[in-house]
Amino acid sequence: MNRRRAPIEGAVRGGIGAPDFAAAWWEAHRAVQAAGERPVGALAALLDQVFLVLEDYSPDSALREPGDLTGAGLRQAVRELTSTQEGGPRS
Report if residue 89 sits inside a domain. no
- pLDDT, position 24: 93
In the chain, the percentage of residues whose pLDDT exceeds 70 is 90
What 3 state SS string does the chain have?
Answer: CCCCHHHHHHHHHCCCCHHHHHHHHHHHHHHHHHHCCCCCHHHHHHHHHHHHHHHCECCCCCCCCCCCECHHHHHHHHHHHHHHCCCCCCC
pLDDT in tens, 51-79: 999 999 999 989 999 999 999 999 999 99
**Pick the residue with more confidence: 18 or 6?**
18
Report if residue 50 sits inside a domain. yes
Report if residue 77 sits inside a domain. yes
* Domain CATH for 54: 1.20.120.650
Report if residue 15 sits inside a domain. yes
Report if residue 91 sits inside a domain. no
Report if residue 34 sits inside a domain. yes
Task: Name the domain count of the chain.
Answer: 1
Q: Would the pLDDT of 85 be above 80?
A: no
Q: Find the mean pLDDT for residues 17-31.
A: 92
The rounded Cα 24 to chain-centroid distance in angstroms is 9
Q: What is the extent of the structural domain holding 69?
A: 5-84
Report if residue 38 sits inside a domain. yes
